Amino acid sequence: MTTHVTRQIAADNQGLREAGALLRAGGLVAFPTETVYGLGADATNGTAVAGIYEAKGRPRFNPLIIHVASLEEAETFAVFSSLARRLAEAFWPGPLTLVLQQRAPSLISDLALAGLQSIAIRIPSSPIARAIITAAGRPIAAPSANRSGRVSPTNPAHVLADLEGRIDAIVMGEAAEVGVESTIVSLLDDKPVMLRPGGVTRTQIEAVLGLVVTDPELHTPDDAPLAPGMLASHYAPHAIVRLNAKQIEPSEAALLFGSFLPKGYDTARAVFNLSPSGDLKEAATNLFAALRGLDQSGALSIAVAPIPEGGLGEAILDRLNRAAAPR
Ligand code: TXA
Ligand code: MG
């Protein structure tokens, strides 16, 4: 791996222009989005895209989301059915990624799309993210800016902890507002399939489409994972994660939600409440920083109190289940 001095760029007009120029020149630049921090590269530059996989230690069969600044630009890379257009109009810019048929021939590197015929694409609502994409003048491939398999970053310190010295620059923005990644909906079979729950809820999507959103078959016919990043253990802190905890051991760190206080929480090694008032939006915003923070307590296990399933609870529980999955 090439080592870099990772430049810390201010999120002001000059900084955003600088970030755009670095991306256009093939650089790797981490930047804030409304969901989590992304690690961006020019999606049309295969060498730059290869750098993303290298910096993250990401398996090359796991495709990247392409970020654009406008629906017109998205339509040059993907075929929009009427369902796709309805979702784009309702939720873009915002935390929704659409998996659509690619429009060929495409300028986007095969490596970014892992050789698939489909493309995952979104327009972020973060004005800083959009300004950087516009300044770059290119579609931007951007996974979450963490080492592969680890907890996604919601602030610059998280990014630097994982990637300092491995990427060219980071735009030093605010903490991400949504806190969990975009919802990924595939419309490849002209029916909505939710590949990953995220910042836009299932109910919101169903309300716009007037259709039930289904879950993916776990495997494709040749047994390759459908969305590789979605299956393995992921979002993993160093500590093991134990869900639905009604009782906390003194050696454990406790991740709480709302007013429910598990037995022994007061003698836990560390405690963090995602939202004392029981607000799922606040809990999503705090989730990844809380996992990183509790990990730093040195506890070998993080015990997570029950979290409700509805709304944003689906995305929060998805991430926690993956964090708890066998590694
Ligand atoms: O909120 C987000 O989506 C963030 C920010 C930076 O935009 N990005 C993000 O990217 O979460 P990443 O790489 O961490 O997750 C992208 C997921 C992966 O699980 C990948 O397998 C899936 O999207 N994916 C990408 N292209 C796909 C495709 N054509 N079909 C199915 N899944 C795809
Ligand atoms: Mg990720």
Can you tell me which atom of ligand 1 is nearest the CA of 58? 13
Q: Go through the chain and tell me how many residues it has.
A: 327
Ligand 1 neighbours (beta carbon < 6 A): 33, 35-36, 38, 62-65, 95, 97, 99, 116, 118-120, 142-144, 181-182, 184, 195, 227-230
Can you tell me which atom of ligand 1 is nearest the CA of 64? 25
Tell how far the Cα of 5 is from the centroid of ligand 2, in angstroms.
23
Among 23, 58, 65, 103, say which to mutate for ligand 1: greatest number of ligand atoms within 8 Å of CB: 65
C-alpha to C-alpha distance for 112 and 232, rounded to whole angstroms? 20
Q: What angle separates helix 13-24 from helix 127-136, to the nearest 10 degrees?
A: 50
Cα–Cα distance list, 128 to 90, 122, 280 (Å): 21, 15, 25
Give the model's pLDDT for residue 235: 77
Q: Residue 186: nearest ligand to its CA?
A: 1
User: Residue-wise pLDDT tens for the chain (327 aa)?
Assistant: 556 799 999 999 999 999 999 999 999 999 999 999 999 999 999 999 999 999 999 999 999 999 999 999 999 999 999 999 999 999 999 999 999 999 999 999 999 999 999 999 999 999 999 999 999 999 999 999 999 999 999 999 999 999 999 999 999 999 999 999 999 999 999 899 999 999 999 999 999 999 999 998 765 555 454 554 555 577 788 999 999 999 999 999 999 999 999 999 999 999 999 999 999 999 999 999 999 999 999 999 999 999 999 999 999 999 999 999 988
Q: Residue 179: nearest ligand to its CA?
A: 1
Four-way CATH pick for 240-323: 3.40.50.720, 3.40.50.11030, 3.30.420.40, 3.40.50.10860: 3.40.50.11030
Q: Residue 151: nearest ligand to its CA?
A: 2
- One-character DSSP codes across 293-306: HHHTTT-SEEEE--
C-alpha to C-alpha distance for 95 and 245, rounded to whole angstroms? 30
Tell me, what amino acid is at 16? L
Segments making up each domain of the chain, as ranges? 7-209, 240-323
Q: Residue 98: nearest ligand to its CA?
A: 1
Tell how far the Cα of 146 is from the centroid of ligand 2, in angstroms.
7
C-alpha to C-alpha distance for 102 and 109, rounded to whole angstroms? 12
Give the model's pLDDT for residue 327: 80
Tell how far the Cα of 291 is from the centroid of ligand 1, in angstroms.
21
User: Is-above-0.85 flag for pTM?
Assistant: yes
- Plot region of 96 (φ>0 → left; ψ -120 to 50 → alpha; else → beta): beta
Q: Are 244 and 302 in contact (CB under 8 A)?
A: no
- Which one-letter DSSP state was computed for residue 196? E
**Residue in 30, 288, 280 with CA at minimum distance from that of residue 153:** 288
Alpha carbon of residue 287 to chain centroid: 13
- One-character DSSP codes across 75-112: HHHEE--HHHHHHHHHH-SSSEEEEEEEPSS-SS-TTT
Q: For domain 7-209, give the fold.
A: DHBP synthase (3.90.870)
Among 53, 60, 64, 288, say which to mutate for ligand 1: greatest number of ligand atoms within 8 Å of CB: 64
